[in-house]
Amino acid sequence: MAIKNIVAFGIALVMSVASSAMEQVSLDTGWKFKKGSGFGNANDGETVDLPHSWNTADGMFGGDYYRGSATYTKMLDIPVTGEESRYFLKVNAAQTVADIFVDNRWIGQHRGGYTAFVVELSRHVTPGKSHKLDIVVNNSPVSDVAPISGDFNIFGGLTRGVELLVTAPVCIAPDFYASDGVFFAQRFVSADAAEIDVEVHLSDTGQGYKDYTVVAELTDGDDTVAAARSAAVASDGVVAMKMSVANPRLWNGVADPFMYKGIVRLEKDGMTVDSRSVNVGLRYYGADADKGFYLNGERCRLVGANVHQDRAERGAAYRAEDFDETVDMALDLGCNALRLAHYPHSEEMYDRMDLAGLVAWTELPFVNIYISNPAYEENLKMQLKELVYQKFNHPCVLAWGLFNEANSGWMEPVGGMIASLDSLARAIDPTRPTIGASNQNDSFNSIPSYIAFNKYFGWYGDNPADMADWIDAEHAAHPDRAMGISEYGAGASVFQQSDSLVHPEPWGQWHPENWQTYYHIENWKILSRRDFLWCNFIWCLADFSSAGRKEGDTFGRNDKGLVTYDRTIKKDAYYFYKANWNRDEPVLYIAGRRNRNVESPTVDIMAFGNRGAAGLTVNGVSYGVAEPDEVNVMTWRGVPLGKGANEIVVTDSVSRDSCVKVLR
């Protein structure tokens, strides 16, 4: 992609929201599904709608789950348009390898379960007729498709929907890495001006582009044209234009996620042949080794959580309300960013983050190990291209994540592959930095533009205070390197409560909630004092499935989430962070409320609050006022309880919270 002369870290990015000339037909309903790769007629199998995964029953509770092939079959009605048309099939994700068949004839294959792909059907279908469409999907482990390792489930299926795209013979290319086919990028962005490059990729059937013109406009919120350009189409079908905007309104994160509208039209003889409409977010940002992250010239540490696209009942086959719930929860918590672990998430997630102003860390599924299989290397590069081109048009995207916990000690050295991916990402998109999430002291940490670390001091055999010593030593050893914390966390079951505070065995079945609360209080004290960190992401927002784990109250579950797997219960640590990160809403919350039955006649009461001092009463008797400490924790020690039920009430200037403790 030939976008040149980019000023580092200034960014004008886009989100696809609509297209007028290209018709998009949802194919999400009425599929026949059966395990195995054998073909039958269109009536064979179980009827399912998309998105769908076959691992929603066997992949969530530990042990083996089905990793093999399955077939989705549907009769595909080809519309009659009244003029010559082209037909494309877009699969938004198929985990892991997908083969496409029309009337039992193989059309194409895609290898990679987290990015979209497009195949053209025009030569294989007839307008006005029905054709049998089979998509054979296989999530078996293979050595040439990433990820080949990872502490999360690989949910087989058509997990993100399927569409039929209908276009004119000459069109904006829907099959350019299954992207928008149009790209807005900046040469320079500031509060005073924005210089934007527009690049458009076209597709034809051999007739060429004579007499075709591409028109690009940028409009503001009231449809006033802020910039406009047009250009003839070169023989290679790629059009590049430049435009500028004076005194732009910036995409300013959650404070003001304003976006312009970019309209691109392909015209012939003054008539629109194809078009795209995208939202354009203008911003500039960067990370400094001493001052941390800045957005639009203002310091703004990125605080948030990691999140997998995985939840109870549906696995990875999310519905619209699941994306809404995730974004709403992040905003309620006070996040300004999310790390979308450890693979590209659904397009709908990025759409919502654009609109909410949440910054996204998105990454390639290059996890843990590297093997020098040439096919694996090419697959990593292809998946990176798909990630960059498909998510390029999202103002929420901060950078291109290259790896997670790459480790040369497990298999083969990974540094060369990371360097190759870094060069490729920068070549395709010079407007964004690259990042990596490391848990190693390795020279490859210096390859990405920014580095962050996965560290679990206080959970995996260490003391929480060790986080401070490690961060300071790492910063001193690499004073010119922008560093952050990409993962930190501890497990917790809301069904396991304890009167005493004891470090549990991480791999054991006892994960009391109070240790997670303590862990996060101590870690946030350390992180919040170190302004040079450009980010910190909790591991993780919600519990998720990992079939190999045998720990906590449920096998097959990573329980480090601040919220339960079904999203119904927020753990105490959730409210701790809300009290610290969400200053717009009053928070007052009594921790340890699920530890209802106690044996000691005196207890410590702890609460989180962000509106100043609070008073405590037990059964109507006052036990004084406590001031929040540096991380908004208030503690009353040695509070006496009476036999039986005791009503605990905490009140501040604006809020009241209560719970019951029963002395047995």
Q: How many percent of the chain have pLDDT more than 90?
A: 92
Q: Which residue has the higher pLDDT, 378 or 6?
A: 378
Q: How far apart are CA 226 and CA 235, in angstroms?
A: 29
Residue type for position 203? S
Query: pLDDT > 70: what percent of the chain?
Result: 97
| 244-295 residue pLDDT tens | 999 999 999 999 999 999 999 999 999 999 999 998 999 999 999 999 999 9
Nearest 5°: phi and psi at 524?
Answer: -65, -35
Residues in the chain, overall count: 664
Indicate the burial class of 66 (C-beta count within 10 angstroms; 0-12, 13-18, 19 or more). middle
The whole-angstrom distance between residue 96's C-alpha and the CA centroid of its chain comes to 18
Cα→Cα distances 337→258, 326, 329, 583, Å: 16, 12, 12, 16
Residue 391 scores a pLDDT above 60: yes
As a whole number of angstroms, the distance between CA 225 and CA 247 comes to 14
Helix-then-strand count for the chain, H and E: 7, 41
**H or E segment and range at residue 171:** strand 171-172
What does the pLDDT average to over 105-127?
A: 98
Please tell me the distance from the alpha carbon of residue 280 to that of residue 663, in angstroms, as a whole number: 59
406-439 per-position pLDDT tens digit: 998 888 999 999 999 999 999 999 999 999 999 9
Average per-residue pLDDT in the chain?
94
Taking residues 570-588, what's their average pLDDT?
Answer: 98
More confidently predicted of 410 and 546: 546
How many other β-carbons are positioned within 10 Å of the β-carbon of residue 198? 26
pLDDT in tens, 172-182: 999 999 999 99
Active site residue 405: yes
pLDDT band per the 50, 70, 90 thresholds, residue 348: very high
Mean pLDDT of 633-638: 98
Cα distance between residue 48 and residue 32, in whole Å: 6
Q: Which amino acid is at 270?
A: G
Q: Report d(CA 539, CA 487) in Å as an integer.
A: 5
Instruction: Give the 3-state DSSP-derived string for 68-99, with helices as H, strands as E and coil as C.
Output: CEEEEEEEEECCCCCCCCEEEEEECCCECEEE
Q: Are strands 302-307 and 337-340 parallel, antiparallel or unpaired?
A: parallel
Q: From the candidates 386, 405, 513, 522, which is the catalytic residue?
A: 405
Name the nearest CA neighbour of 592 among 535, 561, 633, 560: 633
Task: Quote the pLDDT of residue 12.
Answer: 37
Closest by Cα among 228, 217, 230, 179 to 201: 179
Q: Is 649 helix (H, G, I), strand (E, B) or coil?
A: strand
